[in-house]
Chain A
Amino acid sequence: MFPRFRRVTSTSPSADPMTAARRRTLVSALILLVIGLHAVPVVYRAERGTLWPFMQWGMYKNSRPAGPVQVQQRRILALTASGARDTVTPRLLGLSVTVLEQRYLRPMMTGDTTVAPRLIERLNRDREDPFVELRLESETYTVTDTGLARRPNPEVTYRAGAPPR
């Protein structure tokens, strides 16, 4: 598959309308452009998230102080009047996981009651069997000396047109 390599001339000058020097210049410009474009999202902050595939690479940059390692796992369940239930996923909602987290999950976790009606309205677009209730479930996992401890948190229920309980 990888035979002995031979050094040969790539093409004869007469067959190639572009000289090697000119091609080198053009490719060099392309190389500089591709590398240079990576500086734009760093310098031009307003567009730092919208220049894909030229991006800022500051992933997982947040730290946490020394102390117990705790994380929360949370999900929203949606129930219809007939009792059918579904987990609210980005796919069900037609939004990205980041937007689901930022616009719905986090505010609901902090007790923002204005979010649930909006979420129900969005979920029920074009649905024949509409959702009437949302349940916010979560549990806290803590790293302990003896392993991983799981503690369920109180469930919060939102009914369409009623205050949360």
Chain B
Amino acid sequence: MSTGPTGGWLDRWNAYWFPPAPTLNLAVCRIVAVAAQLLWFFPDLGEHVNLLLKNEEFIEPQLITRVIVALVPRDAFFTPSTFTFLYWATFAVGLLALAGLFTRVSLFLFALGSWIFVAHLFSYGDRHHTEALFAIFLMLLAFAPSGERLSVDAALRRRRTGADPAATSEFALWPLRVTHVLLGLTYFSAGMAKMLHSGLQWMNGYTLQGHTLADALSRGHPVGVWLAQQHTLAVLLSVFTIVFELFFWVSLLLPRRWTPAFLLAALMFQVGLWVSGGYDFFQHMVLLTLLLLFLVPDWWQRRLSAREGMRGAPGLDAGARVSG
């Protein structure tokens, strides 16, 4: 047991990041995140080959791209044939990560391959925010016991040693906690940028009408075109946007029973942005759904347990449950 002020801080730090949590939840996160990246967010090889064929230089190379160029000559790595190989190699290690074979290594390589593709795409003078947090989450999974359950590794381990996989681990929650902190940080950053750059004028309704109309027209989102014509609603949604972005981080400090409400609000916020203006933060939606289910799972486990109790089936034992 730690003593003294340093020990106290250390205990609080460990209690926050490393509470015992179900390894099954982390395994489900691994499967969902890897499957989403493989089937939904995987790079478009044709787009990369097109960029490679039509550009002799990068316009604004990302750090990852520059590191690669420092290690391997540009002409050797940034070619259609190398990228075609990298594409299929990343896909293959993605399948291994999905199945949970050599889980940590395959997850790391899968995340690294995905990072290289996004960094390449954003080395031609354009960058977007949609992929960033999801890419970080994928990488963090490689450093957590996400192959402890629902994996080929676990099956092989059981066959070899006869031991059951660990049901809980103190390292099974921190990737979700980090993602929650990063969401708080990035929403706050987005809200502060609006306030520092535009001040209260950002909430005058005309701003949101203008942004929404431009994007909804070009992306063909009729809800956004309609919304852009509703001034009062635009004012209300502008105020909600600023309040939400500036104060989402409060969910990090409030008692955990409030966390699902904040996460649900964030999920609705992202869905609303997609429906109205076509802002395709699908990776955020996947992350928020995972957080909603597994960061503080008490809310749905309690309901499930109550329902099973009413049916007379053995429910979740609140005393034995480890919610993290």
Contacts and interface: CB of A to CB of B under 8 A. Distances in A.
Interface of A: 2-11, 20, 23-24, 27-28, 30-31, 34-35, 38, 42, 47, 49-67, 69-71, 73, 91, 93-99, 102, 125, 141, 143, 147-148
B143 A147 contact: no
Given A5-B321, A65-B201, A27 B166 contact: no
Contacts of A49: 60, 127
Given A5-B320, A96-B125, A69 B213 contact: yes
Contact of B22 (A5, A51, A52, A97): A5
A4 B228 CA distance: 49
Given A5-B168, A6-B168, A93 B54 contact: yes
Contacts of B53: 94
A64 B61 contact: no
A25 to B, nearest CB: 10
Contacts of B164: 8
Interface stretch (B34-42, B71-79, B180-188): B180-188
Given A6-B167, A31-B174, A63-B199, 11 more contacts: A5-B22, A5-B167, A50-B63, A57-B193, A61-B196, A61-B198, A63-B206, A94-B51, A94-B53, A94-B55, A143-B228
A144 to B, nearest CB: 9
B207 to A, nearest CB: 4
B62 A71 contact: no
A75 B117 CA distance: 28
Contacts of A55: 127, 129, 132
Interface string B195-239: 011110110101101110110011000000100110000000000
Given A4-B317, A35-B185, A66-B206, A53 B133 contact: yes
Contact of B322 (A7, A38, A59, A99): A7
B127 A63 contact: no
B17 to A, nearest CB: 6
Chain B interface residue bracket vs A = 35 or more
B118 interface: yes
Contacts of B189: 38, 42, 56-58
B253 to A, nearest CB: 16
A65 B206 CA distance: 7
B248 to A, nearest CB: 12
B135 interface: yes
B289 interface: no
B262 interface: no
Nearest to B203: A63
B282 to A, nearest CB: 16
A50 B24 CA distance: 36
Contacts of A34: 136, 140, 178, 182
Given A38-B185, A49-B127, A97-B126, A71 B54 contact: no
